[in-house]
A and B are shown apart, each in its own frame.
Chain A
């Protein structure tokens, strides 16, 4: 039955996709009403103005552009014009560094907060205030203090991925079942062993959930951050094509961003499955 459910779901997905593409194609088919113009004047104008072509590209154009980008993803035509593969590599590197730094901070601090009610109470107000701040609001401050746009972007990723992990780790550690801790105590397990052999495995699923939320947020934020600072990255690519009012390229970039985001999320989902345990 599950096999047929998967099959039916897949079939439905395909139908939805096809329907969407057909509607998109029909909606963006150029009206094709050529406006009467002086040929000299028309030569100076774009196709939108002269032939009434919709500014919104159709699925075929987007497909062609996507294919063009994917066929040659690593070209370098100068500082400001590089292939989409290189841009994504820059973005992933920034997300990776910022995210790993956040893991290195959030997990130990989360442990501390989870294990000590005192620290939990003391740090709570700070966390509550810092958590809802949009990471991009940090950008001007980061640019001013760090004095390097690349590091500022990494800092913004760090700060946005920190909170979900911190909160989840603390929650996971705090809600380890009392029986297990008591058993450990009865067996006279040292605090370090207790932390690594009892609490960590017990809290791991919750911690991984926090990490999965964080990577999603980090990937959302990097695009916006790169649009702001420019230079390199997929966000810069979107900004550069927006500058050129090239909706086709922007849609292509959106698709690529979506696929990469999905891959990152699935990687952490796999990891989370490894540490889950049946109770």
Chain B
């Protein structure tokens, strides 16, 4: 189920995999067309509350089936004042600051953050946001830590790494919203078009955008599943996305697991082909995130809430497939992504050239879904541990809750006198292997190739 769906509908599943049935896109369509912003806001909060009450989806559905939707809604409303929660989320106190700077990296993952500028989502919240294009992840991290940026587009593992002090000094960081799910791909150089089996990739030189990125963890996972040790059998380097295509053309790289539009750009220029979309590795995996320092969140709660509302609205708009062409045209110019419109359009609409002469149609090649599931964070932490980026004992659930669940759903529920959800975890599968967020150590132990 997507965040903007009705949680009181027993025919729907609350888990993210619901869309694999193919109904998600058209349903989101349908709902979003009918529902105004107010209703959508209510949905987000209701969804969070229902998830809190029924961590187990089967229980929720059984409950709804047993008593009926309207009874269920009334019963829940009697104990939990949903209206109050929604109001708290929608309430606008005086903004502490209206001129904000938000940093982004020019990739399609940042779509909600970027498009909110040309399409007026920030302005609607009475915020004067300057979206600043930034050269690399390390710079965006430093500029956010410097408070030059009020909030920024980050890779979802980065707030975790910053909070843990891996690769930087520990600074409390929050990630109130995921930006996109899926939307990455493994691209290989044209000369490898007959070597599609990862078992043949020994000695390849790969690039990922950053060490603390989903790209790194997904590529390592993918290679390890094929029996290759990502540290010894291949070389994985951190290369900023803009340099990837140039390096692929220059034969410095054999391939990369990169964010779009880099993959599509490699195809567009005839340099590489798309080997596999990241959704084939883990469908609806999180990728990039909207992150802010804990200081900004606590010192300027109203500004922060308004900013987050703008991002939520923008994300909701981006979820609807019929808006994607308009969005592509809005974010392609030099001020934002600086890419040919057709490249961005192929990424967002999912109708794309794969570089081998085929036109593929994958509507959920990239999707946008803001809810930061805690179990995503736990998975990321297991991979950090698996590849030796963090050592020793890790308080998986604690860190995950602190960073991912220090979110508005929880904060605003607390303000309304409610107990925040104990577990907003869900299990999912990566390359067919189920992940149980309750047993991270067991999960790490189950891998043959690891650095622990």
Contact = CB atoms under 8 A, between A and B. Distances in A.
Given A48-B269, A80-B132, A243 B338 contact: yes
Contacts of B93: none
Interface in B114-145: 117, 130-136, 138-139, 142-143
Nearest to B149: A149
A227 B242 CA distance: 12
B265 interface: yes
Contacts of B346: 44
A85 to B, nearest CB: 15
A99 B147 CA distance: 27
B132 A147 contact: no
Contacts of B270: 45-46, 48-49
A240 interface: yes
Contact of A80 (B136, B138, B148, B336): B336
B335 A81 contact: yes
Contact of B353 (A44, A77, A240): A44
Interface string B327-354: 0000001111011101000100001110
Nearest to A247: B246
A149 B106 CA distance: 19
A230 B269 contact: no
Contacts of A196: none
Interface string A232-250: 0000100111111100000
Most-contacted residue by chain A among B265, B267, B270 (CB, 10 A): B270
B357 A38 contact: yes
B296 interface: no
A78 interface: yes
Contacts of A192: none
Contact of A243 (B138, B142, B242, B357): B242
B142 A244 contact: no
Contacts of B267: 45, 49
Contacts of A140: 138, 142
Interface residues of B, number: 41
B271 to A, nearest CB: 8
B335 A78 contact: yes
Interface string A137-175: 000100110011100000000000000000000000000
Interface in B247-293: 249, 265, 267-270
Given A46-B340, A49-B268, A41 B335 contact: no
Interface in A60-80: 77-80
A43 B334 CA distance: 22
Nearest to A42: B353
B246 A242 contact: yes
B68 to A, nearest CB: 49
A256 to B, nearest CB: 17
Contacts of B246: 242, 245
Contacts of B109: none
Interface in B363-406: none
Contact of B333 (A48, A77, A79): A77
A41 B358 contact: yes
A105 B359 CA distance: 63
B146 interface: yes
Given A77-B333, A229-B139, A149 B359 contact: no
A5 interface: no
B335 A77 contact: yes
A231 B138 CA distance: 15
Contacts of A41: 353, 357-359
B2 interface: no
A148 to B, nearest CB: 6
A239 B269 CA distance: 19
Contacts of B339: 244
A146 to B, nearest CB: 8
A40 interface: yes
B48 interface: no
Nearest to A78: B335
A37 interface: yes
B269 A49 contact: yes
Contacts of A49: 267-270
Given A78-B335, A229-B135, A242-B246, A37 B357 contact: yes
A242 B146 CA distance: 27
B359 A38 contact: yes
A92 interface: no
Interface string B10-54: 000000000000000000000000000000000000000000000
A148 B146 contact: yes
B151 interface: no
A150 to B, nearest CB: 9
Nearest to A143: B142
Nearest to A80: B133
B177 interface: no
A43 B142 CA distance: 41
Nearest to A142: B142
A23 interface: no
A104 interface: no
Given A46-B268, A245-B246, 7 more contacts: A79-B131, A79-B335, A80-B132, A140-B138, A230-B135, A243-B338, A244-B339
Interface of A: 37-38, 40-41, 43-46, 48-49, 55, 77-81, 140, 143-144, 147-149, 227-231, 236, 239-245
30 contacts: A37-B357, A38-B359, A41-B353, A41-B359, A44-B268, A44-B346, A44-B359, A46-B268, A48-B269, A77-B335, A78-B117, A79-B130, A80-B335, A81-B334, A81-B338, A143-B139, A143-B142, A149-B139, A149-B142, A227-B135, A228-B136, A230-B133, A230-B135, A240-B133, A240-B334, A242-B246, A243-B242, A244-B339, A245-B246, A245-B269
